[in-house]
Amino acid sequence: MGTPPVTVDGFVREFLHELNSNQGVSLSNSSVNDQYMALASTVRNYLMARWLETERLQRENPHKTVGYLSAEYLLGRQLGNDLLSSGLIDIAEEALNQCGIDFAVLRAQEVEPGLGNGGLGRLAACFIDSLATMNVPCIGYGIRYEYGIFRQTFVDGRQVEQPDSWLSLGSPWEFAHPEHGVQVNFGGHTEKTVDENGNEKTTWVPDWNVLGVPYNYMVPGYLNGRVNTLRLWSAQATKAFDLQIFNSGDYADAVRAQTFAENISKVLYPEDSTPQGKELRLQQQYFFVACSLHDFIANQLEEGFDLHKLDERIIFQLNDTHPVIAVPELMRILVDEQGFGFDEAWEVTQKCFAYTCHTLLPEALEVWPVSLLGRLLPRHLELIYQINDAFLEDVRAKFGNDEMRVRRMSIIAEHPERSVRMAYLATVAGSKVNGVAALHSQLLRDKVLPDFNEMWPMKFTNVTNGITPRRFIRLANRSLSTLISDSIGKGWVNDLERLRELEPYAEDAEFRKAFREVKAFNKERLARTLEQRDGIQIDQNHMLDVMVKRLHEYKRQSLKVLHVVTLYNEIISGRLDPADVQGRTVVFGAKAAPGYKMAKDTIHLINKVAEVVNADERVQGKLHVAFPANYNVTLAEKLIPAADLSEQISLAGMEASGTGNMKFALNGALTIGTDDGANVEIREHVGDENFFLFGMTEPEVADLGAKGYNPGSHYEGDERLKGAIDLIASGAFSDGDRRVFEPIVSNWLTSDRFMALADYASYMDAQAKVEASYADEDAWTKSAILNIARSGFFSSDRSMKDYIREIWHTMPVL
Ligand code: 26V
């Protein structure tokens, strides 16, 4: 490690040193990648001393740690974040300038680690950022997928997936520790023996294993000198495989076995919300959880720590059900390896876990067939049965022999196939169960887990999600950050409630003008990005209307399409004069799960609508649709700061929280949204008059569902809606071929599970209000500023405080 590069000269020296000694090149013959790698190393070296110091302090004076267990971390690019956290961002820029290098070009060289699908993975990344910033000891545990979320391309308007080989140029951010590999066992059977005291002992005799190799990543706190760790596990063949290669004589077969082992961490499953019950996915889940528990517990044992008090050292937070197999794994370690009695082990286990649920969709609740679980993890299945027996005994004790209730609550479902309900296992095992927004937590109690809520009302709690202001304001929107800091000081970056101090500035004409300049600047930056990245041109004078999120029917991208097609239809049929229309660019960004037909058809429809609308001269450039491919964190950082209007239009009761909604509000976009997820709380904070609410409420949705919903009646009863759907059905967006979008049209007319047609009229009215409000520039700007000033609550720092107070009972390290 060189001298800490705290001056520009020092930084230049260190950077050149890294270029020479690590990349093996001189400045004059270095590639952009060389320069990027050297810059990354320079920052890394600076953070290294702090990382080691954080680790040393924890070892010498152990604090209770958060073990965040998540199958996904959607980190986004690291370079800017680590420079910001270390306070080196300006120094680095100047140093590179002196070397004749454009900082922005180096930043653009980084391939973002996309080790997550969407909201759930990005939330994990925000949480670990906040914990480091708040000085809370945390280890994030997860999987080092060799391929992250696929790269989306469009071919003839249809989604085509490409592998995301994010590691192909090497990642400067990871530290591999093959010497700390952990063996993970699978398969086989169990054997019972009785010891000299007459106690039954169970031994698991597995029949294959893999090696988990930890890769450590720095998680720097913002300007506080703390660096926590994210530890991602990579699967390799163990020595046993090597031995097989040596002994079997069948070299090719043995190498195949190695490939088999390495498959476990090969690729992120790109489905979110529809579990496929794939064996490899269960292998992934057990793999990372077994490595993580072993890692933490081995450290405690080394110190001679008494595992009866394990909860004084760790709380494992289960990020949805994906890591729930950790529950029987901890039981197995305590009972089979540490000689605990079952009850004793269960008492410890219950104190060491808490569970966050991220969904309400019944089909998104994971279940594993008993046949599959028993084959892969026979000992764990036994323990799950034992946990279930003890639990159902408690149910009977509390509610009498209400066998209907017992069957409803059993961790084991009998139909359609005997399987383990992972959400129930998590609820039974967890010291706390939380939803991710107030409405969601209430629905979780009332609709998903009502029996459990009745049994343990105190177990249930809410922690509304949040987002990190470091990445999503300070880094992504530097010009807004400067404007804010010039007005109220810099303290807001890690104390976001201080944005309240901006409220009076909404009345300040000069500030409003400055705010509009910030938006204009961000739109220009976005225009450049879209031009370079996608060859898309956008009109910077348009209202920028943005809907970016995973493609899912419940999120209702199709409702947004109906809005666009209605406007288009009104214009081309002469009912609407383009001269009277506010110019609007509608931006979509969305990936569909590769096997999700309706989602992929919707992507196709959006692209075809874009093609037709954008090319039609009758529109006079007033309506433009842009659908850049491969929406990811990096693009979000450019798009969100430029947005005027944020589309949060899910059917009420379906979106657990949403977090994009928070990012938009904090960057001064106004929301058009339903009363769903965290939208409810955003509206409460920013005020009704600064939010465009529409659509049914959750109870109205439930009522309509119960009465029987008939989408056809909305189609027949609304001329504009009928016109829009008929236009799509006519082949106007598919070169006259009526078959292309027939599945979408017939879904609207006959099923429409997420009731887009029922909310259409209300949505159109709300959009009319948007249009009118936007015309009053000053009023709109005031609202935008108030959105920012009143959204400080949605910092993930606040979410972390809530987890600490309600669930973890950990303390920041002073
Ligand atoms: C479920 C499954 C099922 C098995 C296949 C792979 C897979 C991957 C992810 C999931 C989780 C789906 C739940 C989820 O992502 N929920 C989102 O969580 C966000 C953070 O709390 C929240 O803002 C979104 O509203 C919610 O949809």
Give the other-Cβ count within 10 Å of 32's Cβ: 13
Counting atoms of ligand 1 from 1, which one is nearest the CA of 122? 20
Q: Is the CB of 436 under 6 A from ligand 1?
A: yes
Report the separation in Å between the CA atom of 125 and the middle of ligand 1, taken as the mean of its atom positions. 14
Q: Is the CB of 657 under 6 A from ligand 1?
A: yes
Instruction: Determine the residue type at 5.
Output: P
CA-based nearest residue to 564, from 773, 760, 737: 760
The region, left, alpha or beta by phi > 0 then psi within -120 to 50, assigned to residue 556 is left
Instruction: Determine the residue type at 277.
Output: G
3 state SS of 212: strand
* Residue 156 CA: distances (Å) to CA of 101, 594, 596, 608: 38, 16, 18, 9
To the query of whether residue 358 is one of the catalytic residues in this protein, the response is yes
For 528, the enclosing helix (H) or strand (E) is helix 509-534
Counting atoms of ligand 1 from 1, which one is nearest the CA of 436? 21
Confidence of residue 343 (pLDDT cuts 50, 70, 90): very high
3 state SS of 654: coil
For 409, the enclosing helix (H) or strand (E) is helix 403-409
CA-based nearest residue to 167, from 135, 220, 215: 215
Q: Is the CB of 656 under 6 A from ligand 1?
A: yes
pLDDT the model gives residue 197: 85
- Token pair in block for residue 407: 């069957």
Q: Is the CB of 655 under 6 A from ligand 1?
A: yes
Q: Is the CB of 5 under 6 A from ligand 1?
A: no
What distance lies between CA 168 and its chain's CA centroid? 24
Mean per-residue pLDDT, 148-174? 97
Q: Is the CB of 659 under 6 A from ligand 1?
A: yes
CA-based nearest residue to 609, from 564, 647, 572, 542: 564
Mean per-residue pLDDT, 518-543? 98
pLDDT tens column, 89-114: 999 999 999 999 999 999 999 999 99
Confidence of residue 4 (pLDDT cuts 50, 70, 90): low
Q: Whose CA is nearest to atom 23 of ligand 1?
A: 658
Rounded to whole angstroms, how far apart are CA atoms 202 and 192?
Answer: 5
Reported in sequence order, the residue ranges of 24-104 that DSSP labels E, i.e. its strands, are 65-69, 73-74
Q: Whose CA is nearest to atom 24 of ligand 1?
A: 658
Rounded to whole angstroms, how far apart are CA atoms 93 and 83?
Answer: 10
Let me know: does 426 contact 321? Beta carbons within 8 Å: yes
**Looking at the predicted structure, is the pLDDT value of residue 272 above 90?**
no
| CATH architecture of the domain formed by 62-77+112-365+427-435 | 3-Layer(aba) Sandwich (3.40)
Confidence of residue 412 (pLDDT cuts 50, 70, 90): very high
Instruction: Determine the residue type at 250.
Output: D
pLDDT tens column, 617-633: 999 999 999 999 999 99
Rounded to whole angstroms, how far apart are CA atoms 4 and 87?
Answer: 12
Report the separation in Å between the CA atom of 652 and the middle of ligand 1, taken as the mean of its atom positions. 17
Let me know: does 430 contact 449? Beta carbons within 8 Å: no
What is the DSSP track for 544-592?
Answer: EEEEES---GGGTHHHHHHHHHHHHHHHHTTSS-GGGSPPEEEEEE---
pLDDT tens column, 658-693: 999 999 999 999 999 999 999 999 999 999 999 999
Rounded to whole angstroms, how far apart are CA atoms 452 and 456?
Answer: 6
pLDDT tens column, 109-160: 999 999 999 999 999 999 999 999 999 999 999 999 999 999 999 999 999 9
pLDDT tens column, 188-219: 999 999 988 888 899 999 999 999 999 999 99
CA-based nearest residue to 277, from 177, 363, 180: 363
pLDDT the model gives residue 240: 66
3 state SS of 348: helix
Instruction: Determine the residue type at 671.
Output: T
> Could you identify the residue written with the tokens 């071919």?
155
**Looking at the predicted structure, is the pLDDT value of residue 2 above 50?**
no
**Looking at the predicted structure, is the pLDDT value of residue 510 above 50?**
yes
* Residue 276 CA: distances (Å) to CA of 264, 290, 368, 593: 16, 22, 10, 12
Select which of 379, 474, 512, 555 is catalytic: 555
Give the other-Cβ count within 10 Å of 488's Cβ: 17
730 or 200: which leads in pLDDT: 730
pLDDT the model gives residue 142: 99
ipTM of predicted assembly, 2 dp = 0.94
- Token pair in block for residue 28: 């004059």
CA-based nearest residue to 754, from 332, 368, 243, 360: 360
Q: Is the CB of 275 under 6 A from ligand 1?
A: yes
Instruction: Determine the residue type at 628.
Output: P
Reported in sequence order, the residue ranges of 396-506 that DSSP labels E, i.e. its strands, are 412-413, 419-421, 433-435, 460-462
Kindly report the CATH class assigned to 469-490+497-800: alpha beta
Counting atoms of ligand 1 from 1, which one is nearest the CA of 269? 6
Start-end of CATH 3.40.50.2000 domains in the chain: 62-77+112-365+427-435, 469-490+497-800
Query: Among 268, 325, 359, which is best to mutate for testing ligand 1, by the most ligand atoms less than 8 A from CB?
Result: 359
pLDDT the model gives residue 415: 94
pLDDT the model gives residue 9: 97
Rounded to whole angstroms, how far apart are CA atoms 788 and 785?
Answer: 5
CA-based nearest residue to 654, from 359, 332, 229, 341: 359
CA-based nearest residue to 355, from 121, 129, 130, 69: 69
Counting atoms of ligand 1 from 1, which one is nearest the CA of 320? 11
Select which of 50, 421, 549, 624 is catalytic: 549
Rounded to whole angstroms, how far apart are CA atoms 359 and 365?
Answer: 8
Phi and psi at residue 384, in whole multiples of 5°?
-65, -45
Report the separation in Å between the CA atom of 362 and the middle of ligand 1, taken as the mean of its atom positions. 12
If 0-12 CB within 10 Å is exposed, 13-18 middle and 19+ buried, where does residue 223 land? middle
Phi and psi at residue 44, in whole multiples of 5°?
-60, -45
Report the separation in Å between the CA atom of 272 and the middle of ligand 1, taken as the mean of its atom positions. 6
For 9, the enclosing helix (H) or strand (E) is helix 8-21
pLDDT tens column, 545-575: 999 999 999 999 999 999 999 999 999 999 9
pLDDT the model gives residue 242: 60
Give the other-Cβ count within 10 Å of 220's Cβ: 27
pLDDT tens column, 563-606: 999 999 999 999 999 999 999 999 999 999 999 999 999 999 99
Rounded to whole angstroms, how far apart are CA atoms 208 and 807?
Answer: 37
Let me know: does 135 contact 797? Beta carbons within 8 Å: no
What is the 3 state secondary structure string of 261-309? HHHHHCECCCCCCCCCCCHHHHHHHHHHHHHHHHHHHHHHHHCCCCHHH
- Token pair in block for residue 752: 């429409």
**Looking at the predicted structure, is the pLDDT value of residue 1 above 50?**
no
If 0-12 CB within 10 Å is exposed, 13-18 middle and 19+ buried, where does residue 708 land? exposed
Torsion (CA) 518, 523, 526, 527 in degrees, nearest 10: -140
pLDDT tens column, 66-80: 999 999 999 999 999
Q: Is the CB of 734 under 6 A from ligand 1?
A: no
Q: At what angle do helices 756-775 and 719-729 cross, to 10 degrees?
A: 110
Confidence of residue 266 (pLDDT cuts 50, 70, 90): very high
Rounded to whole angstroms, how far apart are CA atoms 133 and 797?
Answer: 8
Rounded to whole angstroms, how far apart are CA atoms 343 and 308?
Answer: 12
If 0-12 CB within 10 Å is exposed, 13-18 middle and 19+ buried, where does residue 640 land? buried
Rounded to whole angstroms, how far apart are CA atoms 383 and 370?
Answer: 12
**Looking at the predicted structure, is the pLDDT value of residue 3 above 50?**
no
pLDDT the model gives residue 363: 84
To the query of whether residue 278 is one of the catalytic residues in this protein, the response is no
pLDDT tens column, 462-481: 999 999 999 999 999 999 99
CA-based nearest residue to 776, from 784, 766, 787: 784
Alpha helices in 489-508 (DSSP H): none
Let me know: does 398 contact 381? Beta carbons within 8 Å: no
pLDDT the model gives residue 86: 97
Mean per-residue pLDDT, 433-455? 98
What distance lies between CA 802 and its chain's CA centroid? 19
Report the separation in Å between the CA atom of 590 and the middle of ligand 1, taken as the mean of its atom positions. 15
Q: Whose CA is nearest to atom 7 of ligand 1?
A: 272
Counting atoms of ligand 1 from 1, which one is nearest the CA of 274? 3
Q: Is the CB of 116 under 6 A from ligand 1?
A: no
Let me know: does 202 contact 191? Beta carbons within 8 Å: yes
Q: Is the CB of 127 under 6 A from ligand 1?
A: no
pLDDT tens column, 633-656: 999 999 999 999 999 999 999 999
Let me know: does 691 contact 668? Beta carbons within 8 Å: no
**Looking at the predicted structure, is the pLDDT value of residue 276 above 90?**
no
Report the separation in Å between the CA atom of 118 and the middle of ligand 1, taken as the mean of its atom positions. 7
Phi and psi at residue 367, in whole multiples of 5°?
-135, 145
To the query of whether residue 549 is one of the catalytic residues in this protein, the response is yes
Torsion (CA) 397, 398, 400, 403 in degrees, nearest 10: -90
Q: Is the CB of 271 under 6 A from ligand 1?
A: yes
Spatial neighbors of 750 by CB under 8 A, at least 6 apart, are 711, 712
Confidence of residue 495 (pLDDT cuts 50, 70, 90): very high
To the query of whether residue 550 is one of the catalytic residues in this protein, the response is yes
Instruction: Determine the residue type at 501.
Output: E
Confidence of residue 257 (pLDDT cuts 50, 70, 90): confident
DSSP assignment letter at 147: B
Report the separation in Å between the CA atom of 5 and the middle of ligand 1, taken as the mean of its atom positions. 41
Give the other-Cβ count within 10 Å of 778's Cβ: 12
Let me know: does 284 contact 562? Beta carbons within 8 Å: no
Residue 182 bridge partners (DSSP): 212
> Could you identify the residue written with the tokens 């992934």?
284
CA-based nearest residue to 318, from 39, 567, 69, 553: 69
